[in-house]
């Protein structure tokens, strides 16, 4: 049976989507068609959303599931008239929170992912540009400003992790690719040696690495299982020799790698 899941929001829809993905991941056997309806900010737009939801209910022959982060009381009342299972975040949690805190909430729409202040924006933009400028060992002279320096072999997930840490947490991240040349005597490159306490290593399963590299250069030595295996063995020997904390990224998403690195290094985020 076809089911539609709606993510309904007066803002970006990111909270509703995150919430919904999290809940739906518990129902692996059901396939959902997912529709995000962001920036629903008026009675009129809420009624349009309700019409779309009711249409899906009719077409599917089954109630859609609606994850809603609408804040406005009138809009929520309109929404609750539709033919769907409504999981209403503010409906469920706002009242107990108000009671505990002893204040009424602002009921202002589109607060969640609105720009908080110029300072946070600045930190974030600077972090992103720092990550770009210090990607892939391009520059090493600003490592004194880095919060963390990720190391690992080519295509093991360093770059996306650095960008995620920059965008999400405002951290100043650098990354440096270790290559065959570095493995000869297991000596750390000088630029890294000077900032050893900032280093964090990634490793990955050799077959997985080979598959990822093959996409880029199929049939090359670079992508061969043998080469990948050799590099990864040397890499882990290097981590162990220098007591560098590291993580196997094979089965992990970018979010998981990032949050684990944060926890393992005890890093304090610059953005909440």
User: Under the criterion CB under 8 A, does residue 215 sit at the interface with its own copies?
Assistant: yes
Residues near 109 by beta carbon (within 8 Å), at least 6 away in sequence: 10, 11, 41, 70, 71, 72
DSSP 198: G
Structure tokens at 16: 């509703």
Determine whether the annotation assigns residue 153 to a binding site: yes
Kind of pairing between the strands at 65-68 and 85-88: parallel
Write the DSSP symbol of residue 240. H
Q: How far is the CB of 237 from its own copies (least distance, A)?
A: 26
* Residue 253 in marked binding region: no
Using CB under 8 A as the binding rule, whether residue 44 contacts its own copies is answered as no
**155 is annotated as contributing to ligand binding:** yes
Considering only residues 169-208, where is the footprint of its own copies by CB under 8 A?
none
Q: Select 12 or 224, whichever has its Cβ closest to its own copies.
A: 12
Tokens standing for 129? 């540009």
Is 128 annotated as a binding-site member?
A: no
Residue 230 makes contact with its own copies by CB under 8 A? no
Kindly identify the residues of this chain, within the stretch 49-88, that bind its own copies according to CB under 8 A: 63, 65, 69, 71, 85, 87
Stretch that binds its own copies, among 113-121, 173-181, 187-195, 219-227 (CB under 8 A): 113-121
Start-to-end CA span in the chain (Å): 40
* Degrees, nearest 5: CA angle 171-175-178: 160
Please tell me the distance from the alpha carbon of residue 161 to that of residue 173, in angstroms, as a whole number: 9
Q: Smallest distance from the beta carbon of 140 to its own copies, in angstroms?
A: 18
CB of 4 to its own copies, least distance (A): 12
* Residues linked to residue 248 through DSSP beta bridges, in sequence order: 203
Closer residue to its own copies, CB minimum distance, 3 or 238: 3
Comparing CB distances to its own copies, the nearer of 141 and 190 is 141
**What token pair was written down for 169?**
């947490």
Q: Is residue 154 marked as binding?
A: yes
Q: Of 61, 96, 219, 266, which lies in the binding site for its own copies, with binding defined by CB under 8 A?
A: 96
| Alpha-helical runs (H) found in 25-157 | 43-60, 73-79, 89-101, 118-133
Asked if residue 14 binds its own copies (CB under 8 A), the reply is yes
Pairing of strands 148-152, 173-177: parallel
Q: Find the binder of its own copies among 61, 106, 184, 219 (CB under 8 A).
A: 106
Specify the stretch interacting with its own copies by CB under 8 A; choose among 97-105, 178-186, 220-228, 239-247.
Answer: 97-105
The DSSP call for residue 30 is S
- Two structure tokens written together for 128: 């992103």
Q: CB-wise, 198 or 213, nearer to its own copies?
A: 213
Task: Enumerate the known binding-site residues for ADP.
Answer: 152-159
Feature table: binding site: 152-159
């Amino acid at each position: 049976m076809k089911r539609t899941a709606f993510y309904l929001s007066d803002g970006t829809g990111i909270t509703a989507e995150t919430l919904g993905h999290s809940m739906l991941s518990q129902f692996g056997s059901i396939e959902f068609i997912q529709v995000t309806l962001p920036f629903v900010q008026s009675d009129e737009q809420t009624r349009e959303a309700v019409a779309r939801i009711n249409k899906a209910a009719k077409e599917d022959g089954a109630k859609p599931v609606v994850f809603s982060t609408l804040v406005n009381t009138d809009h929520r009342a309109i929404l609750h008239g539709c033919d769907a299972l409504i999981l209403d975040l503010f409906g469920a949690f706002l009242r107990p929170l108000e009671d505990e805190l002893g204040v009424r909430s602002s009921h202002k729409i589109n607060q969640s992912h609105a720009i908080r202040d110029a300072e946070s924006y600045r930190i974030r933009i600077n972090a992103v540009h720092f990550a770009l400028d210090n990607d892939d060992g391009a520059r090493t002279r600003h490592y004194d400003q880095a919060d963390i320096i990720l190391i690992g072999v080519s295509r093991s997930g360093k770059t996306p992790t650095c960008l995620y840490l920059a965008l999400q947490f405002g951290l100043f991240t650098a990354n440096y690719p270790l290559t065959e040349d570095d493995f000869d005597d297991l000596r750390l490159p000088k630029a890294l040696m000077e900032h050893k306490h900032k280093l964090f290593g990634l490793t990955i399963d050799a077959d997985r690495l080979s598959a990822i590299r093959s996409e880029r250069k199929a049939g090359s030595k670079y992508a061969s299982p043998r080469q990948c295996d050799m590099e990864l063995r040397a890499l882990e020997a290097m981590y162990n020799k220098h007591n560098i904390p590291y993580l196997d990224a094979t089965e992990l998403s970018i979010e998981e790698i990032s949050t684990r690195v944060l926890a393992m290094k005890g890093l304090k985020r610059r953005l909440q």
